[in-house]
Amino acid sequence: MRPYLGKVALAVVCMVVGAAANAGYALLMDPVVNKIFTERREEFLWPLGLAVLGTFALKSVCNYGEAVFLSKVGLRVIADMQSRLFSHLMRLDVAFFHANSTGSILSRLTNDISSMRFAVSDALTGAGKDASSLVFLVGAMFYQDWRLSCWTFFVFPVAILPIARLGRRMRKVTDNTQEQMGLLTTYLEQAVQGIRVVKAYGMEEYEKGKVHHLVETLQDLVYKAARVRSASSPIMELLGGIAITVVILYGGSRVIHGHTTPGAFFSFITALMLAYRPMKSLASLNTNLQAGLAAAARTFSVLDAPPAIQDRPDATELVVLEGNVALEGVFFTYDGTKAVLDGIDLAVPGGKTVALVGPSGAGKSTVLNLLPRFFDVTDGRVVIDGQDVRGVTTASLRSKIALVSQEITLFDDSIRANIAYGRFGAGNDEIEAAARAAAAHDFIIGLPDGYDTQVGERGLNLSGGQRQRLAIARAMLKNAPILLLDEATSALDTESERQVQAALDHLMKGRTTIVIAHRLSTVVNADLIHVMERGRVIESGDHDTLMARSGLYARLYAMQFADDSAPVGNPG
């Protein structure tokens, strides 16, 4: 709230003046009853009537000013929090997103922030106004009759314990509700994105059952929260009734015996009635505030999580001259127990194309994840032209590396914007040149809006080959000296693969390229092939050398050749 202290100060002024006006209205009941109704003095009629009107007018203006200023501050604080949370998420490393589901992250950005917005707005506008009104009204009551005030307020401390207990319950229920909302968001996202698989296997009823169970669980939690939130009202109603009964019995007795005037008594009971509403609001506010605090705790658990991948204080800019890449004695584990890379040594000569092959789980994709520091090595080091990647800035490191993978990420934006992701601020001519180099220009200009065509969510308006060529165009535009290709053609049909492979060949010229491919026919022309198994390099050489050794590579190649050459048809 520090940047908005000016508005907060104005709101406090409005709050204090409005609260004083509220108490003034109660105090005016003394002369109204005594001078007009009891003594019947006509000269007080207009002055007191105008005083009451002025008091209400002043209160209404102050209430409006306070609400406007504090609502603005409350909403601004939450908007800042939402932007800050997303900015922090963008700084967190890949490991965080592997450890947390998409639904859980989205729940923090949407549901938790909404709960905080409600709590902050209520806390600022409600707590400030109600608390200040209560202070002035209680002061008016003690001014009129301190004995009666003491008798009246002995009941309200009794409410502290149950109200505090309700707040704790509300916080726990809200935390569980937000967790359930994250699960529901995750399941909905999976069902929508995997709708083809759901329908292909006839699993609609199964998915409906899963979501129905989550919705029912969520409904139970929301209903429990409503019960907890509503419980404070009857508590305050009962205590308010007890307080008013005490006032009538004790205060009425003092009026009857002449210890106080009817005007003072009516002034006191007016102040009590006016104080009852802010008391009740403050009791309800606690449960709403606890819901917001539960959401805030979840939000700050993310904001307080430091990125695992950070630049060292003495980090330097990466300088790529030849593009030599090497892993030296690298150990790596994702979970802290099972080693994915087990002391691997691997060299990639600058400007050459090097393929990583081997069975699934050998650690090939992990090697690619370590180069741009999506993860850091557990032991050993990754070097580029002799520079440890942990000793250079991540910005300079990633600016020198381009990635094209099997899982293409396109954003629901224009084709132009998706290609321009490769280098922010690139001109239209540069974008078009990159598209031509990636063999994408011809199909782009054939689309209804050309480069301004919207690709749809995850690029679903385009074919697999088209999406892949846009990814290659993006890498072309980046023009990085080191290129990582992770199964870039494995999901394509023969014609698309031919077009994409031609674009890749163009992209790979003059760059240090590391290729992962299960389809070994696509890497036979690589300058060097590293064969990996169980996190180690067990063979290295070109295609002919490895075939002559009759080792793992030769067996994998023979198996794929046998599969590819098997006759097609029904043998019966």
- pLDDT tens-place string over residues 279-295: 777 777 777 777 778 88
- How far apart CA 466 and CA 518 sit, in angstroms, is 21
pLDDT of residue 158: 66
Say which residues have a Cβ less than 8 Å from residue 47's Cβ, sequence separation at least 6: none
- How far apart CA 180 and CA 174 sit, in angstroms, is 10
pLDDT beyond 50 at 568: no
Domain boundaries along the sequence of the chain: 2-303, 314-400+483-495+511-566, 406-479
pLDDT beyond 90 at 231: no
Q: How confident is the model at residue 125 (pLDDT cuts 50, 70, 90)?
A: low
pLDDT of residue 160: 64
pLDDT of residue 490: 60
Say which residues have a Cβ less than 8 Å from residue 361's Cβ, sequence separation at least 6: 534
pLDDT beyond 90 at 521: no
pLDDT beyond 70 at 564: no
C-alpha angle 24-26-28 in degrees, rounded to nearest 5 = 70
Arithmetic mean of pLDDT, 379-402: 92
As given in the structure block, the two tokens for residue 48 are 């007191």
pLDDT of residue 233: 67
Arithmetic mean of pLDDT, 560-570: 50
pLDDT of residue 132: 77
pLDDT of residue 397: 92
% of residues, the chain, pLDDT over 90: 11
Backbone φ and ψ of 335, nearest 5° = -105, 5
Q: How confident is the model at residue 200 (pLDDT cuts 50, 70, 90)?
A: confident
Most confident of 62-76, 255-269, 296-310: 296-310
- How far apart CA 398 and CA 482 sit, in angstroms, is 10
What is the domain class of 314-400+483-495+511-566 according to CATH? alpha beta
pLDDT of residue 392: 93
pLDDT beyond 50 at 571: no
Arithmetic mean of pLDDT, 319-337: 88
CATH hierarchy code of domain 406-479: 3.40.50.300
Fold of 2-303: ABC transporter transmembrane region fold (1.20.1560)
Q: What would the 3-class secondary structure string for 290-320 be?
A: HHHHHHHHHHHHHHCCCCCCCCCCCCECCCC
Q: Which residue has the higher pLDDT, 210 or 562?
A: 210
- How far apart CA 159 and CA 239 sit, in angstroms, is 8
pLDDT of residue 367: 92
Same fold, 2-303 and 406-479: no
Q: How confident is the model at residue 159 (pLDDT cuts 50, 70, 90)?
A: low
pTM of the predicted protein model: 0.69
Q: Which residue has the higher pLDDT, 304 or 335?
A: 304
pLDDT of residue 496: 65
pLDDT beyond 50 at 412: yes
pLDDT beyond 70 at 572: no
Most confident of 27-31, 128-132, 245-249, 352-356: 352-356
Say which residues have a Cβ less than 8 Å from residue 452's Cβ, sequence separation at least 6: 414, 415, 416
pLDDT of residue 119: 72
As given in the structure block, the two tokens for residue 335 are 């979970």
Backbone φ and ψ of 307, nearest 5° = -60, 135
- Pick the closest to residue 140 from 268, 314, 258 (CA basis): 268
Average pLDDT score, the chain: 81
Q: Which of 246-260, 467-481, 538-552 has the lowest mean pLDDT?
A: 246-260
pLDDT tens for each residue of 11-66: 888 888 888 887 887 788 888 787 777 777 878 888 888 888 888 888 888 888 88
Most confident of 19-23, 371-375, 485-489: 371-375
Say which residues have a Cβ less than 8 Å from residue 128's Cβ, sequence separation at least 6: 11, 12, 15, 66, 70
**Is the Cα torsion angle 121, 122, 123, 127 positive or negative in sign?**
positive
pLDDT beyond 80 at 330: yes
pLDDT of residue 215: 86
Q: Is 334 exposed, middle or buried (0-12, 13-18, 19+ CB in 10 A)?
A: middle
pLDDT beyond 90 at 249: no
Q: Are strands 482-486 and 401-405 parallel, antiparallel or unpaired?
A: parallel
